Chains A and B, each alone.
Chain A
Amino acid sequence: MSGGARGAGGVGRVGKAGSVGRIAPGPGPVVRWLILGTVGLVFAIPILAMVEFTMRQGLAGGYTLDRWIAVATGQLDNSYRQLWVAIGNSVTLAIVTVVVTLGLLVPTMILIRLSFPRLRRVLEFICLLPITIPAIVLVVGLAPVYSVIGRTVGSGIWTLAFAYGVLVLPFAYRAIQTNLDGLDVVTLSEAARTLGAGWFTVLLRVILPNLRRGLLAAAFISVAVVLGEFTVASLLNRVNLQTALLIISKADPFFATIFALLALLFAFALLIVIGRIGAAPIGPRRNRLSRRKARLTQ
C-alpha cells in the first residue's frame, strides 16, 4: 500500500501555476493547518498517554524517569529474559522473511516480465490475494500445515518466516513492481545478452542493480510488517516481539508500554527511510540510468 502514494505531484503543481493558483482545488493554509492540527492533536493523545503512563510513580502520583533509565542502562532483571528472546526471534523472522520473499519473488517477477508477460496479471492477482484473506483465516489453515512442518523440519522459529512471507507479499510486490515498471527490462537484458552475458549475469549485474530501490523498500516494509505481526504467532503458539509484549503487559504494563513505544519509534524510522528511498534521488538516477541504457544499446 505504501508504493501507491508515490508517483505523484499532479495537483501539487496547480498552486505554482501563478494565476491559476487562485482556484486551486486545495484548501488555503489556514484551513489546511486547522485540519492537520486538529487531527494530529487527537491522534497524538493516545501516544502521549502511553508516555505519561510509563512515567507514573505508583499510586501516590507524581512522575519518575526510573523505568526509562532502567531500560536504557539494561538494568532489567531475569523476568525480562523472555523479551530478549522474543526480540531475537522477531529479528530472525524479519531476516528470513526478507530472504525468502525477495529470493522467491524477484526472480519470478523478472522472469515473468521477460518471458511470460501474459502471466503478469496472474502474478499480480496472487500477490495481492493475501489482502483479501484475513490472517486469522489463514491461521486456521496454517495450523495443520505447521503441524506437518513441525514433525519434519522441527519447530524452529524461522519456519514461521514462510507464513510471514505470504503476509508481506502484497507490500513487497507493490514496492518492486513500481520500480520494475520504470525500467526497460527487456531492452536492458537483450542488450546485455547481445554483448554475451548469460542469464545470471543479466540478473545479477544488470537488472538487480537497477532494482536496488524497489528491493530496499520491499525489504524495509517487510521488516516493519514482521516486527508488528501478532495474529499468526499468537495462534500458532510462537514467541515473537508482539506476543511477548502482551504477556509481559499482564505482569508489568509499564515496561511493556516502554518497549511498545520503542518498537513504534523503530517502525517509524524504518518507514521514514522507505519514504526517502522512494522520493529522494529520482532526477540524477534516471539520468544515470538512461546513460547506462544508451551505453548498453550502442
Chain B
Amino acid sequence: MLNVLKGVGRGLGRWGARRPVIGLLPFALYVLIFLALPTLIAVFTGFFDSEGRWSTTNLEALADPVILRTFWNSIWLSGLTAIIGAVIGALVAYALIGTKPESALRSAIDAVSGVLAQFGGVMLAFAFVATIGIQGYITVLLRDRVGVDIFAEGVWLYEVPGLILPYIYFQVPLMIITFLPALESLKPQWAEANATLGGSRATFWWRIGIPVLWPSFIGCTLLLFANGFSSYATAAALTSQGSAIVPLQIRAALTSETVLGRENLAGALALGMIVVMAIVMWLYSLLQSRALRWQR
C-alpha cells in the first residue's frame, strides 16, 4: 500500500494536476468492492460466530476429521490430476515443437485447449456421464463387448475417484496452454551450439532442454494443482449430494438450511483454501523467477 502511495506521489510530481490521480479511482474502487472486500470477508468470517462475536469455533472445525478428510481428498485429487495432466500436456507440447504458431494445427489446438481448460464445468459432467456413466457409451461397450463391468464394485463416477478422469480432461489442455510458451523459449542457437559441439538429440535434452525447462514444468504443474484445487463446477454438476472435496463442503455450508449460521464455517473453509493456494502460488513464483532466467 505504501508503494502505491509513493508511486502516486511521484506520478503527481512529474505531471502535476494535469494528469489527475482521479483517473485511477474508478478501477481502484471497483477492485476494492468486488475483489478485496469479498476476499477479506471470506477470510475473516471464519473468525466470527453467527452473532458476529469473535470466535474460534469455526476455525476449530477445520481440525474436524471430516473436514480434514475433505481437504486431503481435494489435495490428492488435485495433485494426482496435476501430475498426470502435466506429463500428458508436456508430451503434446513436445510434439508441437517445430510447428509454426500461426499454422492451422496450432490455432486449432490453441482453441480446443482454451475451450476445454476454461469452458468445461457443467459440460464436462455431461460428457463423462455420457461416456462412463451407468448407461455411458464406454461403460456399455466394455460390459457388452468385452465383458468388463467398470462399476462391478459400485458406481464410483459420482464420488471422488469419478472426478479423476474429468479433472485430467481439463488439466491437460491447461498444461498445453501454459507449457508451450516455455518450450518456445528454447533458443535455436542452443540446438545449433549443441550440434556444432557434436551433441545428439539426447544430449540436447539431457544437457540443455531439461535443465532449462524443469522450473517451468514444475511451475506449470503447481498451476495445474491450483486449478484442480479451486475447481468447483464439474464436481458440483456430477455430485448433487455429498461433499467429498472442499469446494463442495463450502457449497454445503453456504446452502445449508438445517443448521443456521453455517456461513461462518464456509468462511473457515475458504480461509483454509486460501492458505493452501497461497503456499502453492508462493512456490510457483519462486520457480517462475528461476524459469524466466532463460526466457529473455
What is the interface of chain A, defined by CB distance below 8 A to chain B? 1-2, 4-15, 17, 20, 22-27, 31-32, 35-36, 39, 43, 45-50, 52-53, 100, 104-105, 107-108, 111-112, 114-116, 118-119, 122, 126, 129-145, 162-163, 165-166, 169, 221, 224-225, 227-231, 234-235, 242, 245-246, 249, 253, 256-257, 260-261, 263-264, 267-268, 271-272, 274-276, 279-280
- Whether A118 lies near B7 (C-beta < 8 A) is yes
- Whether B254 lies near A235 (C-beta < 8 A) is yes
Is the CB of B181 closer than 8 A to any CB of chain A?
yes
Chain A residues lying within 8 Å of B269, measured Cβ to Cβ, are 140
B195 interface neighbour in A20, A114, A231, Cβ under 8 Å: A20
Is the CB of B47 closer than 8 A to any CB of chain A?
no
- Whether B130 lies near A52 (C-beta < 8 A) is yes
- Whether A140 lies near B42 (C-beta < 8 A) is yes
How distant is the Cα of A45 from the Cα of B77 in the complex, in angstroms? 22
CB within 8 Å for A137 and B101 given contacts A39-B172, A145-B37, A162-B30: no
Interface of A is mostly: helix
Is the CB of B286 closer than 8 A to any CB of chain A?
no
- Whether A137 lies near B118 (C-beta < 8 A) is no
A104 interface neighbour in B26, B111, B119, B254, Cβ under 8 Å: B26
- Whether A264 lies near B123 (C-beta < 8 A) is yes
How distant is the Cα of A10 from the Cα of B31 in the complex, in angstroms? 37
Q: List 28 A-B contacts (CB under 8 A).
A: A1-B117, A12-B101, A17-B192, A35-B95, A45-B138, A46-B131, A52-B137, A100-B30, A104-B26, A104-B27, A107-B26, A108-B24, A115-B15, A119-B7, A132-B281, A138-B38, A139-B254, A140-B263, A140-B269, A144-B41, A145-B34, A163-B34, A230-B121, A242-B233, A249-B126, A253-B126, A275-B111, A280-B102
Chain A residues lying within 8 Å of B3, measured Cβ to Cβ, are 118, 122
Chain A residues lying within 8 Å of B195, measured Cβ to Cβ, are 20, 22-23
- Whether A230 lies near B233 (C-beta < 8 A) is yes
- Whether B205 lies near A10 (C-beta < 8 A) is no
- Whether A39 lies near B91 (C-beta < 8 A) is yes
Chain A residues lying within 8 Å of B137, measured Cβ to Cβ, are 45, 48-49, 52-53
**Across the two chains, which residue of chain A brings its CB closest to B88?**
A39
CB distance from B46 to the nearest CB of A (A): 9
CB within 8 Å for A13 and B232 given contacts A8-B181, A49-B136, A139-B254: no
- Binary contact track B92-125/A, C-beta < 8 Å → 1, others 0: 1011111111100001101110111111111111
Chain B residues lying within 8 Å of A231, measured Cβ to Cβ, are 232-233, 236
Chain B residues lying within 8 Å of A14, measured Cβ to Cβ, are 98, 188, 191-192
User: How extensive is the interface on chain B, given as a class?
Assistant: 35 or more
- Whether A119 lies near B205 (C-beta < 8 A) is no
What is the interface of chain B, defined by CB distance below 8 A to chain A? 3-4, 6-8, 10-11, 14-15, 19, 23-24, 26-27, 30-31, 33-35, 37-43, 45, 88, 91-92, 94-102, 107-108, 110-112, 114-131, 136-138, 169, 172, 174, 177-178, 180-181, 183-188, 191-192, 194-195, 199-201, 204-205, 209, 226, 229-230, 232-233, 236-237, 247, 250-251, 254-255, 263, 266-267, 269-270, 273-274, 277-278, 281
A112 interface neighbour in B24, B38, B114, B187, Cβ under 8 Å: B24
How distant is the Cα of A151 from the Cα of B14 in the complex, in angstroms? 43
B119 interface neighbour in A31, A169, A228, Cβ under 8 Å: A228
How distant is the Cα of A130 from the Cα of B105 in the complex, in angstroms? 31
B270 interface neighbour in A1, A26, A140, A234, Cβ under 8 Å: A140
**Across the two chains, which residue of chain A brings its CB closest to B137?**
A49
How distant is the Cα of A43 from the Cα of B266 in the complex, in angstroms? 35
How distant is the Cα of A225 from the Cα of B119 in the complex, in angstroms? 7
- Whether A27 lies near B266 (C-beta < 8 A) is no
Chain A residues lying within 8 Å of B186, measured Cβ to Cβ, are 10-11, 25
How distant is the Cα of A275 from the Cα of B121 in the complex, in angstroms? 22
Chain B residues lying within 8 Å of A257, measured Cβ to Cβ, are 126, 130
How distant is the Cα of A105 from the Cα of B35 in the complex, in angstroms? 14
